[in-house]
Structure formats: structure tokens, C-alpha cells
Structure 1
């Protein structure tokens, strides 16, 4: 379950979705939890902040950076 939340955080970073109100690139995600809600969920599941940052937030931003550099 924790890996699912971490993956969803990363995908929402890539989509540019801060909260459930943001559409992001993929409009199909509209209304689903965004980075903020998913990060809160991850913390409630006792996933360490370091893991959230390295495996989700930073990893997602690396993908965004690669997309902008090409």
C-alpha cells in the first residue's frame, strides 16, 4: 500500500497537481487526491518524510526536469 501512495505522489508531481482541485496535464485525474492530500496520507501511514521526499517528490521533479530539457 505504501508503494502505491508513493507512486501516486510522484505521478501527481509530474502532472503538476498540488491538490484535488487541480486538473493537471491529465484531466482524468481531476477530483482525485493531489500531492498535498497524498502526502498527508503517506504521513498517516507512517511513511518517513525522507522516503516521501526522495522516492516521490524528488523523483517526480527529476522526470519534470528531463521533460523540460528535451
Structure 2
């Protein structure tokens, strides 16, 4: 038979804390992660910020400034 509140996460946190104190277990503190900010691939300075994300089909034609019949740019 379950006791009332035995499934709640609050109860588990309180019980875990008590058990760790009684067993004299060192509690590891979570290290706060820094946000990943990629650097410029050319000069390796500054931070790059994501402005838009596209799916596998790539950016729409209006975003690139041309239509489907536009002539592709050649180097």
C-alpha cells in the first residue's frame, strides 16, 4: 500500500536530501552551462548569432531575392 504523496517529486526531493545528509554523501552541484556562441570561421573573433533557420528544402525563393526561374550566380 502506498502512502499519500509517495509519488510526488517534492516528497522525493525532501527524502533524497535527508538520505544524503544521513549517509554523508557529497552532493555534486550542477555547473551552469554557458550558451554556445560560435565564432566567425574567417577571423575567429566576434560571436555569430542565428537570424533564421531553414528546413532541409533550404531558404524560400523570396528570401534569396529571386524566383524559381532566376539564373544561378556563377563564380
TM-score by length of 1: 0.27
Higher helix content, 1 or 2 = 1
The structure with the largest alpha-carbon Rg is 2
TM-score by length of 2: 0.25
Greater length-normalized contact order (CA 8 Å, ≥ 6 residues apart): 1
